[in-house]
Chains A and B, each alone.
Chain A
């Protein structure tokens, strides 16, 4: 049977929704099994995408189009290239793992939880497949709602504050993005004698942008709006502070999905929309974004060094690792972009696994304070071995997948600016420092008094917990030794994306960018100090806490 004759993308996207509807009407006792079954089924079907996708061909495959709001040329249009396919499979894989990992920790409102998770999956897959800018926006916002609930209902003590911050922060960005999407559509429409056809169609817009259809002024404003939306989502420095809070308060599975998939939405948005639609603006802002990425890489790692909480440490390491992604995208070199995409997948696998592993400890101790840990090697040898594997994967140990992505980004950066590469390479030391600090404190030494006090509660990993980590570990090894499996998938996307930005114009990181950033920092400090003097007690934070 020809894969293209059936609407496989629609099936993959909305299958979890059917699962959610069934759970809604079925008895609560069936919620877990139904959710897992649908997530697994979606995963299996998404594998057909991987099999059916032909890497050699340019453009999108499995494309499905239907009119939605014809008056404005808005369509229901899905399509996939190598980038989308791999991110969709990452999503469907992590979704069933996260659902399986929720079986034990989530004991209240199971039905609602599983429904939220499946709807979240719909939104995430939709974002990666939408080829209509308006549809993209809809999926983008769909993601927000279930995540808001997952953190806000099943999260930790300070969950209301964290989830409000997450949602409001993301909304600020996405609303601006909506404005930019509309502005772009208007610009297209006015350039085509008022005809709306194609004004929201990504492929049409991209072709139009390729001919220089969008004026520089529009490009700059629209790019900035997209940039804010995506930079908050990635998150890039200085828009990252919602992440540690959201991670710390979210339940384990929420953290896993947040790190593994949600952060990739922003990076995907940069590659899919911001670069191709507004190439000249992207070129203009590239130096600034490169500097911000470098700051994120080093700054995230330094702050991770002194985190007292396991989840916060991993969250800051995410800021650092995602800095590599944005760095790789905006150096506009082949190696850089390939490395960036590889890093997206690898970060999803490795950091997702690290959050699962933190969850394993939390499940037994109800604590994540690093200082209270110690000596788990004696009590949980399997756990310590698996944890060590992912710690070294995260530290970029060659032979495991994390290394290839990071190194390609570094090579791609070196071609443009050796000093920038040198700064980023320094993270090799910082990453080893914070990861081995964390690992040493958890695994080595004598069993801490706190852990010893738990007695028999401190059991080694259960088969289910191992099952959630085996697929991730296997992929980390496979992609470490054969990264070509992924790189071949991306090759087309990389070439097409780089074709629109001018690789001939050398990127220089102007002193102005650095000075400007320093000025912003100074203003922030002054503003913060001034605000502290004028208004010593923030009322916002306690309100969030009080609601709980």
Chain B
């Protein structure tokens, strides 16, 4: 059997797993994980075979392409509405392969981890059914060959996100967070949907490869509008300002969901979408500036909030926003490979950090407030060490993952002349190191601040949860070096070259700047490592440190003193810059009043008129009743008047 014929299995297996588990899962009870986990394992095997095949160049060339290896298959016709013809088909090229690595690997590990994490939950089977539905949707999203099919998957991952955020439906906060996530996403989806319509009306097709080939036929304004509309969709799914408000609330969902959907895979869909349609953006440089600006603004906004939050998962959620902002900024400045590079490394280390936080939360009996933690490093060693690796990685300490990917983003921003992007990104790098080591300090170092009874019962999670942590630590340690070396001509650049070459050629007419380790590039690397180290050290000094022999107490009085020195910034950060309050006023209070006014209008004016007509008919009837009195003389009078009128008008008109 050829690999090509197995591609549909990547989506068919998870949807079957979903269907079977949804139908009989309740009866399987605590064995309900077997079908979903084995399904995803099979998907992972097929995906890895495809990835190796495509990235090594042994796969055939894609039809119509001279250097892009991969597979393109058409599955069935979905919408045959005359000229509006949409096929469901799949394309696996090197970009999809990169996404497949992240999605299937983390997907599999999260499935395994959930066996332990969800073991006491009454909705065990339901959880695994939803996870499989999500895997189906996410795989469809990265594999689909048609914009409208991408949109389908786009909405389906949104549905899964809704179902999983609201998984603990008894909690009103979870139900509200789920609703918020879906609706905010839909705001962005308006843009995406309109973009799809504009593409179809302009080019008569929605096949991605065909659209990309022919995009140059359109005028600049149309391309820019298409780009911005697609970006609007990406902003919703990847939670970029001002549509970022749903992601922190999404932490109401179970932690494996936060790791899989809200850190490693679904939130990357926005980056994937614009990377997939990169030639469109290449023709609209001004749209790219918007992308860069929104991205880097989100990065610093979210990082500033992450610095003061006390809920361990919310810190990680704001961190995710911030890192996604980096990726958009990278895309905006033209560092497309670096964006995908960071997407991959971030997927692994953020997945690791979230699963680690889940292990912490489990250990301290569902406590998420870091103020009630501390000193856990001695009790949950595997969680501690893997999370420390993750924290070092996200901070950009060499040679861990984000050192390579983040530095490539910052370096290219500088070299392509986006000094402002570089400057903000540089500051954010320091903030990132700070909030991560604040998190580590509050959680693992110092002394435990929760109840004594809990402290005595804290123990490391079962192997089914710690093994995924250890497995994720491996790419966190080495993936950056594997993909990012040799500097200046990295492996991932070679992989993605066929996907990005044409677009980059349109974007930068001059040759790409060369790479000098003992020159500008070296200086930039040194600068970012320094700022990361500074952030780390400040975090250490304020929140304590306890790595091996290095031990220092935390200094809460110093923290208070520092935050009192910048009261506005501190309150802004603590209150998330009041975006939730603003949205509440705008959409719940004012929006609600407007809707109520519309309803008043409907009852009183529209329906009021209808009733008025009805009532006036009754009134008129009452009035006309006077005519039918039953008195003959009245009728005779009527007849006489009628005759006179008729005769008179006849005489007048006949003349």
Q: Hey, which bits of chain A sit against chain B, CB under 8 A? A: 165, 168-169, 237-238, 240-242, 299, 302-303, 305-307, 334-335, 338-339, 375, 377-378, 392, 397-399, 403-404, 407-408, 410-411, 414-415, 418, 421-422, 425-426, 428-429, 432-433, 436-437, 440, 443-446, 481-484, 487-488, 491, 494, 521, 524-525, 527-528, 531-532, 535, 538-541, 543
Q: Assess whether B194 is in contact with A422, with CB atoms less than 8 Å apart.
A: yes
Select B611's contact among A238, A240, A425, A541, beta carbons within 8 Å.
A541
A140 to B3, CA, bound (A): 59
Please, which residues of chain B bring their CB within 8 A of the CB of A531?
Answer: 608, 612
Q: Does B598 contact A (CB under 8 A)?
A: yes
Q: Assess whether B197 is in contact with A421, with CB atoms less than 8 Å apart.
A: yes
Tally of B interface residues using CB under 8 Å: 57
Please, which residues of chain B bring their CB within 8 A of the CB of A411?
Answer: 84, 197, 200-201
A165 to B607, CA, bound (A): 11
Output the least CB separation between B422 and chain A (Å). 36
Please, which residues of chain A bring their CB within 8 A of the CB of B151?
Answer: 398
Q: Tell me whether chain B's interface is mostly helix, strand or loop, or mixed.
A: helix
Q: Assess whether A335 is in contact with B156, with CB atoms less than 8 Å apart.
A: no
Q: Does B569 contact A (CB under 8 A)?
A: no
Could you jot down 16 A-B contacts, CB within 8 Å?
Answer: A241-B610, A302-B595, A306-B592, A307-B599, A375-B169, A397-B156, A421-B197, A428-B189, A429-B187, A443-B169, A446-B170, A487-B80, A487-B81, A527-B612, A538-B611, A540-B611
Select B159's contact among A375, A392, A444, beta carbons within 8 Å.
A392
Please, which residues of chain B bring their CB within 8 A of the CB of A535?
Answer: 612, 615
Q: Does B82 contact A (CB under 8 A)?
A: yes
A343 to B606, CA, bound (A): 26
Please, which residues of chain A bring their CB within 8 A of the CB of B83?
Answer: 334-335
Q: Assess whether A525 is in contact with B605, with CB atoms less than 8 Å apart.
A: yes
Q: Would you list which residues of chain B between 582 and 633 have a CB under 8 Å from chain A?
A: 592, 594-596, 598-599, 601-602, 604-612, 614-615, 618-619
Q: Assess whether B81 is in contact with A408, with CB atoms less than 8 Å apart.
A: yes
Q: Assess whether B156 is in contact with A527, with CB atoms less than 8 Å apart.
A: no
A482 to B87, CA, bound (A): 11
Output the least CB separation between B12 and chain A (Å). 13
Q: Assess whether B200 is in contact with A238, with CB atoms less than 8 Å apart.
A: no
Q: Assess whether A168 is in contact with B614, with CB atoms less than 8 Å apart.
A: yes
Q: Assess whether B189 is in contact with A306, with CB atoms less than 8 Å apart.
A: no
Q: Hey, which bits of chain B sit against chain A, CB under 8 A? A: 77-84, 148, 151-152, 155-156, 159, 162, 166, 169-170, 172, 174-176, 178-179, 182-183, 186-187, 189-190, 193-194, 197-198, 200-201, 592, 594-596, 598-599, 601-602, 604-612, 614-615, 618-619
Please, which residues of chain A bring their CB within 8 A of the CB of B194?
Answer: 414, 418, 421-422, 425
Please, which residues of chain A bring their CB within 8 A of the CB of B84?
Answer: 334-335, 408, 411
Q: Assess whether B595 is in contact with A415, with CB atoms less than 8 Å apart.
A: no
Q: Assess whether A538 is in contact with B612, with CB atoms less than 8 Å apart.
A: yes
**Other contacts beyond A418-B201, A446-B172: 16, CB < 8 A:** A240-B606, A302-B594, A335-B81, A377-B169, A377-B170, A397-B155, A403-B152, A408-B79, A408-B81, A426-B190, A440-B178, A445-B170, A445-B172, A446-B170, A528-B609, A539-B615
Output the least CB separation between A534 and chain B (Å). 10
Output the least CB separation between B172 and chain A (Å). 5
Q: Assess whether B198 is in contact with A418, with CB atoms less than 8 Å apart.
A: yes
Q: Assess whether A241 is in contact with B607, with CB atoms less than 8 Å apart.
A: yes
Select B156's contact among A238, A398, A540, beta carbons within 8 Å.
A398
Q: Assess whether B618 is in contact with A414, with CB atoms less than 8 Å apart.
A: no
Q: Assess whether B609 is in contact with A527, with CB atoms less than 8 Å apart.
A: yes
Please, which residues of chain A bring their CB within 8 A of the CB of B156?
Answer: 397-399
Q: Assess whether B610 is in contact with A169, with CB atoms less than 8 Å apart.
A: yes
Closest to B184 in A: A429
Select B198's contact among A339, A404, A414, beta carbons within 8 Å.
A414
Please, which residues of chain B bring their CB within 8 A of the CB of A433?
Answer: 183
What 4 A-B pairs come out closest when comparing CB atoms? A444-B175, A398-B152, A241-B607, A414-B197
Closest to B149 in A: A398
Please, which residues of chain A bring their CB within 8 A of the CB of B595?
Answer: 302-303, 305-306
Output the least CB separation between A165 and chain B (Å). 7
Q: Assess whether B172 is in contact with A306, with CB atoms less than 8 Å apart.
A: no
Known A-B contacts A303-B599, A421-B197; A483 and B78 likewise in contact (beta carbons under 8 Å) = yes
Select B170's contact among A334, A378, A540, beta carbons within 8 Å.
A378
Please, which residues of chain B bring their CB within 8 A of the CB of A428?
Answer: 186, 189-190, 193
Q: Assess whether B606 is in contact with A540, with CB atoms less than 8 Å apart.
A: no
Q: Assess whether B610 is in contact with A165, with CB atoms less than 8 Å apart.
A: yes
Closest to A375 in B: B170
Output the least CB separation between A223 and chain B (Å). 23
Q: Assess whether B80 is in contact with A238, with CB atoms less than 8 Å apart.
A: no
A378 to B169, CA, bound (A): 9
Please, which residues of chain B bring their CB within 8 A of the CB of A538?
Answer: 611-612, 615
Output the least CB separation between A494 and chain B (Å). 8
Known A-B contacts A165-B614, A378-B170; A397 and B193 likewise in contact (beta carbons under 8 Å) = no
Q: Assess whether B599 is in contact with A440, with CB atoms less than 8 Å apart.
A: no
Please, which residues of chain B bring their CB within 8 A of the CB of A410?
Answer: 193, 197
Q: Assess whether B176 is in contact with A440, with CB atoms less than 8 Å apart.
A: yes
Select B79's contact among A305, A436, A484, A543, beta carbons within 8 Å.
A484
A3 to B208, CA, bound (A): 45
Output the least CB separation between A60 and chain B (Å). 21
Closest to B175 in A: A444
Q: Assess whether B610 is in contact with A444, with CB atoms less than 8 Å apart.
A: no
B79, B178, B194 — most chain A CB neighbours (10 Å): B79
B609, B611, B614 — most chain A CB neighbours (10 Å): B614
Output the least CB separation between B137 and chain A (Å). 9
Select B615's contact among A404, A446, A540, beta carbons within 8 Å.
A540
Select A437's contact among B172, B179, B197, B594, beta carbons within 8 Å.
B179
Please, which residues of chain A bring their CB within 8 A of the CB of B201?
Answer: 411, 414-415, 418
A429 to B182, CA, bound (A): 9
Output the least CB separation between A82 and chain B (Å). 14
Q: Assess whether A397 is in contact with B159, with CB atoms less than 8 Å apart.
A: yes
Output the least CB separation between B88 and chain A (Å). 9
Please, which residues of chain B bring their CB within 8 A of the CB of A169?
Answer: 610
Please, which residues of chain B bring their CB within 8 A of the CB of A307?
Answer: 599
Closest to B140 in A: A399
Q: Assess whether B612 is in contact with A429, with CB atoms less than 8 Å apart.
A: no
Please, which residues of chain B bring their CB within 8 A of the CB of A426?
Answer: 190
Output the least CB separation between A436 and chain B (Å). 5
Please, which residues of chain B bring their CB within 8 A of the CB of A481?
Answer: 78
Known A-B contacts A303-B602, A428-B193, A538-B615; A444 and B169 likewise in contact (beta carbons under 8 Å) = yes
Select A238's contact among B604, B606, B615, beta carbons within 8 Å.
B606
Q: Assess whether B599 is in contact with A306, with CB atoms less than 8 Å apart.
A: yes
A444 to B82, CA, bound (A): 42
A305 to B596, CA, bound (A): 9
Select A445's contact among B80, B175, B197, B592, beta carbons within 8 Å.
B175
Select B152's contact among A375, A399, A491, A532, beta carbons within 8 Å.
A399
Closest to A415 in B: B201
A126 to B162, CA, bound (A): 44
Q: Assess whether A528 is in contact with B608, with CB atoms less than 8 Å apart.
A: yes
Please, which residues of chain B bring their CB within 8 A of the CB of A446?
Answer: 170, 172
A399 to B27, CA, bound (A): 28
A69 to B598, CA, bound (A): 50
